[in-house]
């Protein structure tokens, strides 16, 4: 019943920027945390950024200083602003929602289907 839909992926050159969005619908459980994950071919999903219901954030070391996670509860939307993109940022990006905030995928109950980001060097 909970649906997350990502958008905003695309192809950019190294050094460029993208802003990903995740629209949430059907969540009636009250407060929740959200996160962005990414997955490379033949790899598991890794946590990129997290924001809990109070606005506390956490980032993977590889994206600190370059990515910013934010949320707009009024619009039921999660964002990931990605600046200074590198070729190694290329992958599928997924948003997730759950009761607890973590960079570990196991704590999230709901997932989007992903949006692809390609960074050309």
Would residue 42 be called left, alpha or beta, if left means φ above 0 and alpha means ψ between -120 and 50 degrees? left
**Nearest alpha carbon to residue 87 among 119, 53, 62, 40:** 119
The pLDDT of residue 28 is 67
pLDDT at 59 over 70: yes
The pLDDT of residue 27 is 76
| Separation of alpha carbons 81 and 73, rounded Å | 17
The pLDDT of residue 63 is 98
- The per-residue pLDDT for range 9-22, each reduced to its tens digit, is 999 999 999 999 99
| Separation of alpha carbons 48 and 12, rounded Å | 19
The pLDDT of residue 119 is 97
- The per-residue pLDDT for range 69-104, each reduced to its tens digit, is 999 988 889 999 999 999 999 999 999 999 889 999
| Separation of alpha carbons 104 and 117, rounded Å | 21
103: which DSSP letter? S
- The per-residue pLDDT for range 26-55, each reduced to its tens digit, is 876 678 899 999 999 889 999 999 999 899
Which is more confident, 119 or 29?
A: 119
**Nearest alpha carbon to residue 1 among 96, 114, 110:** 110
Q: Which of 15-19, 23-27, 105-109 has the highest mean pLDDT?
A: 15-19
| Separation of alpha carbons 35 and 48, rounded Å | 7
For residue 66, what pLDDT band results from cuts at 50, 70 and 90? very high
Residues in the chain, how many?
A: 121
């Amino acid at each position: 019943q909970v649906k997350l839909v990502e958008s905003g992926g695309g192809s950019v050159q190294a050094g460029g920027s993208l802003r990903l969005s995740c629209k949430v619908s059907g969540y009636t459980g009250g407060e929740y945390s959200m996160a962005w994950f990414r997955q490379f071919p033949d790899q598991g999903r890794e946590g990129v950024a997290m924001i809990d219901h109070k606005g506390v954030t956490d980032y993977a070391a590889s994206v600190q200083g370059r990515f910013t996670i934010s949320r707009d509860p009024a619009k039921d939307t999660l964002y990931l602003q990605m600046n200074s993109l590198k070729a190694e940022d290329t992958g599928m990006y997924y948003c997730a929602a759950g009761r607890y905030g973590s960079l570990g995928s196991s704590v999230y109950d709901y997932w989007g289907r992903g949006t692809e980001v390609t960074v050309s060097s």
